[in-house]
Structure 1
């Protein structure tokens, strides 16, 4: 007797797959899986079996049976080797199992028509990037873009890969079908901070990204006139309430808010990391509101229900941002602060918190939303003294008698211009070594090649392994001079360097990101270490490296409580940002 469709009691033998599909609509997953299996048993010679195996794989994967799904996809590929969709899904299942090399091999071996190569190439590129195999990722995504250059997400990853891997020139000689402006606009907002010093162009890049990624909400929730609360309700929204640079900076502000005038809400989308810093952050909120599992609309409605007066987004255009929630306008006043040091041109944002060093008044028109300058340094800091381990130059692999130039910024901030300046400094200071973070193998190899080409022995570039925050800060105290990057300066790292008594040399540009270290140096009383040209940057650094008396005078200026009473004055900062909140708060 031929197998029956148990839902309809109709024989399955000889039934075409297209006739089976309507019977699957509305079935529970387990019943759909059973029906596909029954059909495959009843139709051993059907030319459509490959499609049934593929559909069965999709159902099994959706139901959590990853092993069964992989078997089904392999069956489909055995019958139809050019079924690239099965190869994509099989590779994703292998990747989810931790079998990354098998996933890459599956996508590499897949047969497919030209128009279907894109997903296979893009998945390979994505996985190579996750593995920090940046050279292979870049080459793979370049192949994809050569097939179809109109892939903004792929362009964004390809461009940032070249930055992270120090693959110069950064535009790779260009891509057919993309002019320089279009390439920049597709490059993504984080990469833009290290690519251009033009705030208006950064705003256009951010706006293009938002247009692709964050559609407008159907309504705005907050009353435009605001609320009549006795205490201002400030809500902080972040995915980084943990052992993260933003969390390190913001924690004491949260603790020091004047509770007679402010009520502090923390909308937390952060994964639990069990750190002491996270525990301290959560304890500082009057209301800790875990919202990670909420949709954007649910998150927005929760904020509206809490009648938040001022919502401060601490992500901006970085990973973990919940811009979709902001588009519902859940608070009458919404500001962006600290997490992204550039324009966030979301129409529902009202303010970008800054200061007049990072955003001079003449540059206001280049930014969206409107700059909200504080009276003094823009950057919050935790003034509590950190517990640091004992480190020595010997323990960190540094030569005892060298003048140690260091930069612990991520590699994507290092540009050819900056690196060229570093090589000029090292050529003039033969006792110097350059100490960088061990970011990725591709970047290390490319920097060593660039040093060799500049006539500097690559062995003079040393790389510090990744470590915990306490050891990282202690290491800064071993160096002699911090060489900043531009147009994307150090932010948290620059503050940490100054705190450890390490002088900084920076190059001030036009954009917020290019002026962070300048703001810190002015706050602590060392404006002379901020250059306005590459040549001046080199001269200031060489004065430190070659004139011990000058270097000692600058070090003395950073000694004692210099940082604590300026950059690290958390109590003073809290009063200044609260004054700004009071200026922008709306009430009926």
Structure 2
């Protein structure tokens, strides 16, 4: 029976007069220190007042007297949980249940504590036990928490069902709505997520959590302005929180407003300096601005706060990859995978970094791990990376299945396939356009802003933008054009966005232009500012979607007129590229529909050439090159990824049909060499009949072409610069003219070299002509003689003519713009 003094204190407690109750309980303590009831009540009063730390001592004192009391153990768990000591709390709840398995409050509290500890499997089991026992108190909160456990276990479909159950019990449950939307977003169902959130906010007050998830869903749908508004509402609802500020930064980033985004990230960090997420997101923006060292520092700051953040490690790896610090990037990705084995992006990006170090087997394994772990849609881009890496090593296992998946996904709009990689996998201009458009939609959602027309100057100011102002195929083709553009009409600038490699070609381009700008270390804003200060009238993209390209510069607008030229043989797929320089072969009349750009056709080949290119002073002997003195030498010095199984099978049939013949290829990497030898053997051809040429200085490489008899081209990606190399050396090139730009380049060059009879239109014709030429030395000698006679005068190697024609094209583009006319295709 409770004594009168204690009863009076309890009455104060029950009346909510907590301060008086606490004083009364404490007044009794000197005489009743070991009284478990008094200590228990004092602890509960202190806890009710929000003094969890003070409550801990009296409740512990009570437990010393009655150590197995389930109510005391449960209350101890609640106090520990309030103090953030969830592991101890969970243990207290377990002891309460051990003392009384029917003490239901402890069972609910244990489940909640396990969820807070992110021990999702144990939490799910605890919630499922409650449901199995049909305990009183099962409500929307329980189903919401159970869904959170399922989401934490990546069981998103089941999580969605749990959240829907919660909402069926309490339609206005904001937490369940936000969690449902988050799970739908994790499943790639952003539209459904936003629809659910919009419906909720139309009927119920929008909480900060709901607005934050709504903003994220809108970002997923590329609705940046609406996302920005949602995050602004969240900031107004909770002005002290860093999360709405981070959301606004992400929306500004998606809109291409990187400088504003960076300022917002700084505000978020000021609001919560210990937020690893805020530091990591700041790094993402800095990376987009191409401030790679600052981005790396931001990710490292995030990791100092949260060393086990797998997301921050992946972001760090991405920045290190951009900075070409591939070994460090690989370490970051592997650490992320060790922390979270199912992190799809970590596996995919590890594959990219390994490919950059030529670890092709490791790269393939990483991409396959990404595909095995990713849900539909999230690994779409990995398909092309995997296919391309396998092709680099001439590993054709499963390549047809990958091609089919990529074709289907691109056509359906579900695959963000690397546009460049797609060119090597399919001869389909419509597919190329779809892939490029999807890539733009996913990666460059912000449409180019209108670029103001600079004040008129005495000359047209044209800037060529490239990663490759060095000894590189693209520059070897166009350097002479840069030198020969009419300086009375044009002021020519080079904007270098790639690593500065000092070689003879790099020095030549610096001497050959009016202004050379090293933009490699510069963030995007600085490059754009430089373009504005330079007064560019025309910006020419020499990269397209090749490695190292900074397409965002063109997406945001470098000049009033922007041109896709030479580096990428296909459409950019975006309105920010006004024109593409082509010719009647690579883009025949009627094919304009496959290009987002307006098509400008050069009169001969779209590809420039250098009429001063050096050929090595002496040609090695066949014996030195490992070739037979008398046998017929078929040749293909294309990169190995261009060789597909069907083409290779044709080559092997030719070797079988021409006794003593060999096939001369590049020794590009050990895996490709090994796999090509094995493939030859599978066709019944002695692998020693494949001869592999080591890399050599360009002039020497051109010279050794003269040892071969016939160059055989590849499809769907032709020899491009390589065709010009062979023809310049006097080596005939046999091609199969395809349908898409990249599959018609060799035909374009052969027409410009005035040797159109080496163009075939189907596989049977290609094989038959190759065999006929190998068996008819006189006919082949005649073709070689005709090629040699054409070289000095044919359009392909007339650099001055090309420069004049290109100048005409650029001048007409500029004149249309000055006249206020939209871009329009034309023939030069």
Residue number in structure 2 paired with 1:386: 614
- Tell me how far 1:146 sits from its aligned partner: 1.3
Residue number in structure 1 paired with 2:437: 207
Structure-to-structure mapping, 1:380-529, within 5 angstroms: 380-390=608-618, 391-529=620-758
Of 364, 388, 394, which aligns to 2:592?
364
- Tell me how far 1:111 sits from its aligned partner: 4.9
- Tell me how far 1:83 sits from its aligned partner: 8.0
Are 1:581 and 2:810 an aligned pair? yes
Using a 3 Å threshold, how does the CA distance of structure 1 residues 122 and 487 change in structure 2: closer, same or farther? Answer: closer
Max radius of gyration: which structure?
2
- SS of the residue corresponding to residue 361 of structure 1 reads coil
Instruction: Tell me the alpha carbon deviations over residues 370-397 of structure 1, each in whole angstroms, 9 at most, x when there is no partner.
Output: 2110122211111014151422222222
Alignment coverage as a number of residue pairs: 528
Using the size of structure 1 for normalisation, the TM-score is: 0.80
Using a 3 Å threshold, how does the CA distance of structure 1 residues 114 and 503 change in structure 2: closer, same or farther? Answer: same
Residue number in structure 2 paired with 1:145: 371
CA contact (8 A) 1:300 1:326 kept: no
Residue number in structure 2 paired with 1:129: 355
Are 1:326 and 2:554 an aligned pair? yes
Using a 3 Å threshold, how does the CA distance of structure 1 residues 378 and 17 change in structure 2: closer, same or farther? Answer: farther
- Tell me how far 1:509 sits from its aligned partner: 0.8
Residue number in structure 1 paired with 2:252: none
Using a 3 Å threshold, how does the CA distance of structure 1 residues 87 and 285 change in structure 2: closer, same or farther? Answer: closer
Unaligned runs of 5+ in 2: 1-82, 87-241, 243-268, 274-292, 820-828
Instruction: Tell me the alpha carbon deviations over residues 142-184 of structure 1, each in whole angstroms, 9 at most, x when there is no partner.
Output: 12211114224433321211221223255463599x6751167
- SS of the residue corresponding to residue 463 of structure 1 reads strand
Rounded to whole Å, the distance in 2 between the matches of 1:93 and 1:325 is 18
Moved more, 561-570 or 519-528: 561-570
- Tell me how far 1:446 sits from its aligned partner: 2.3
- Tell me how far 1:124 sits from its aligned partner: 4.3
Using a 3 Å threshold, how does the CA distance of structure 1 residues 537 and 114 change in structure 2: closer, same or farther? Answer: same
Rounded to whole Å, the distance in 1 between the matches of 2:669 and 2:697 is 18
Of 328, 331, 334, which aligns to 1:107?
334
Rounded to whole Å, the distance in 1 between the matches of 2:296 and 2:456 is 54
- Tell me how far 1:531 sits from its aligned partner: 0.4
Residue number in structure 1 paired with 2:461: 233
Rounded to whole Å, the distance in 2 between the matches of 1:580 and 1:85 is 47
CA contact (8 A) 1:543 1:551 kept: no
Rounded to whole Å, the distance in 2 between the matches of 1:481 and 1:427 is 16
Rounded to whole Å, the distance in 2 between the matches of 1:164 and 1:330 is 34
Unaligned runs of 5+ in 1: 1-14, 23-31, 37-61
- Tell me how far 1:65 sits from its aligned partner: 12
CA contact (8 A) 2:295 2:319 kept: no
- Tell me how far 1:479 sits from its aligned partner: 1.1
CA contact (8 A) 1:215 1:324 kept: no
- Tell me how far 1:135 sits from its aligned partner: 2.8
Using the size of structure 2 for normalisation, the TM-score is: 0.58
Structure-to-structure mapping, 1:152-231, within 5 angstroms: 152-168=380-396, 171=399, 173-174=401-402, 180-182=407-409, 185-216=415-446, 219-223=449-453, 228-231=456-459
- SS of the residue corresponding to residue 195 of structure 1 reads coil
Rounded to whole Å, the distance in 2 between the matches of 1:180 and 1:65 is 36
* Bigger RCO of structures 1 and 2 (CA < 8 A, at least 6 apart): 1
CA contact (8 A) 2:329 2:353 kept: no
Are 1:306 and 2:534 an aligned pair? yes
- SS of the residue corresponding to residue 395 of structure 1 reads helix
CA RMSD of aligned residues (A): 3.8
CA contact (8 A) 1:252 1:570 kept: yes
Rounded to whole Å, the distance in 2 between the matches of 1:222 and 1:99 is 39
- Tell me how far 1:17 sits from its aligned partner: 11
